[in-house]
């Protein structure tokens, strides 16, 4: 089984450096272009199943790719981005000031929450997001091992995909910072009976020379 992990295309919030979290922000024109070019590059890959977060930016990215496939998109709330509570809709550079007003001055570094159990007011902790990732992956493995589906596309969000990578490779949550995903950046993990292999990480197909992907 090969899991293809794809981040959604660009949104205006991505471009503006804004926490999106579970706000339902659509793709912008650049994001739609990124998704269409990615779909073209993946024309030679046949996905047995396509899963996507039920937030529109991920679902739209998945549907653009699914137009070239003979399979529908299965929306899954467990693939949603982390809920950032009071930070949602704010620029990254306002995060520290906003959390300080809630007595959480030391809870964030850049845009990264410190501590697996740290929860911004009204939001989720990283540990809760990881629990969603574990639940999703268990369901995928259970649903597809018996049917021998070989290629599965998972379209989600940067933060959730980083956490999915730590689950797949049994790494501590702190290791998630090593797995950055660009908009429409793709990673592939091959799963064997006794191990998992990272075939490539954050491959940006929409920036390549236009040739179909053949690996």
For the question of residue 109 being annotated catalytic, the response is no
Question: Rounded to an integer, what distance in angstroms lies between the CA atom of residue 21 and that of residue 1?
Answer: 30
DSSP code per residue over 153-176 = EEEE-HHHHHHHHHHHTT--GGGG
In DSSP terms, which residues pair with 2 in a beta bridge? Answer: 151, 190
Question: Rounded to an integer, what distance in angstroms lies between the CA atom of residue 193 and that of residue 212?
Answer: 29
Residue 80, helix vs strand vs coil: coil
Q: Which of 8, 10, 83, 157 is catalytic?
A: 8
Return the half-sphere exposure (C-beta side, CA atoms, 13 A cut-off) of residue 11. Answer: 24
Q: Which of 10, 60, 67, 81 is catalytic?
A: 81
For the question of residue 8 being annotated catalytic, the response is yes
CB atoms within 10 A of CB 126: 23
Residue 33: burial class (beta carbons within 10 Å; 0-12, 13-18, 19+): middle
Q: Rounded to a whole number, what is the distance in angstroms from the first to the last CA of the chain?
A: 15
Residue 211: burial class (beta carbons within 10 Å; 0-12, 13-18, 19+): exposed
Which are the catalytic amino acids? 8, 81
């Amino acid at each position: 089984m090969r899991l293809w992990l794809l981040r959604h295309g660009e949104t205006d919030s991505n471009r503006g450096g804004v926490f999106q979290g579970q706000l339902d922000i659509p793709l912008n024109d650049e994001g739609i272009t990124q998704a269409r070019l990615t779909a073209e590059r993946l024309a030679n890959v046949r996905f047995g199943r396509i899963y996507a977060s039920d937030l529109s930016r991920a679902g739209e990215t998945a549907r653009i790719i699914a137009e070239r496939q003979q399979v529908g998109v299965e929306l899954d709330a467990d693939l949603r981005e982390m809920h950032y509570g009071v930070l949602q809709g704010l620029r990254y550079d306002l995060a520290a000031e906003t959390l300080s007003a809630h007595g959480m001055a030391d809870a964030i570094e850049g845009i990264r929450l410190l501590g697996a159990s740290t929860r911004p007011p009204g939001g989720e902790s990283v540990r809760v997001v990881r629990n969603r990732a574990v639940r999703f992956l268990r369901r995928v493995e259970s649903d597809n091992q018996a049917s021998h589906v070989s290629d599965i596309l998972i379209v989600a969000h940067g933060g959730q995909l980083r956490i999915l990578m730590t689950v797949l490779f049994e790494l501590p949550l702190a290791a998630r910072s090593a797995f950055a995903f660009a908009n429409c950046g793709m990673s592939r993990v091959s799963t064997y009976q006794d191990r998992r292999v990272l075939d490539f990480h954050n491959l940006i197909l929409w920036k390549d020379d236009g040739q179909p992907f053949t690996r």
